[in-house]
Amino acid sequence: MTMIDGVRIKKLKPIPDERGRLMEILRKDDELFITFGQVYVTTAYPGVVKAWHYHKIQTDHFTVIHGMMKIVLYDSRKDSPTFGQINEFIAGTYNPVLIQIPPMVTHGFKCIGEHEAIVVNCPTELYNYTTPDEYRIDPHSGEIPYSWDRKDG
């Protein structure tokens, strides 16, 4: 898979011991670190799609900390060398990764496990309640050439 221009992945390393485990997600000395806006948690129930949206300013940093999700990115930037490209990532308990999503890359996710999945996002910007940097597209409108159906075989 060719990565969408500006998207970066960091493989995460859970550190287990007899008490449990620890896993660093993003540090300010990481190569991927840009700046800090806030941290929040979002969840999805089994089979639920939360898509599509993009930001004009904000870079997102998604990590699925519980369960499994299919995270899908679409490069909607007309001036990008990867314009129109789609990236699919299976992320979560069995594949702990940090996905850095640059501005204007449209994205969404679907819970593909049997239980609620939990995502931590560390965006570069604060959420502005009066004028949010968030633009939405219906996940089933066909505007983005992608089907959220399960792909068997």
Domain layout of the chain by residue ranges: 8-13+27-118+125-136
Residues in a beta bridge with 72: 88, 108
Model confidence, pTM: 0.94
When computed from its CA atoms, the radius of gyration of the chain, rounded to whole angstroms, is 15
Question: Which candidate, 80, 131, 123, places its Cα nearest to that of 101?
Answer: 123
Look up the CATH architecture of domain 8-13+27-118+125-136. Answer: Sandwich (2.60)
Token pair of 71 as six digits: 């995270």
Q: If pLDDT is split at 50, 70 and 90, which confidence band does 152 have? A: confident
Q: Which phi and psi (to 5°) does residue 145 adopt?
A: -75, 75
What's residue 151's pLDDT? Answer: 81
pLDDT digits 0-9 by tens, 40-66:
999 999 999 999 999 999 999 999 999
Q: Report the phi/psi class of residue 37: left, alpha or beta, with left for phi > 0 and alpha for psi in -120 to 50.
A: alpha
- 153 or 96, greater pLDDT: 96
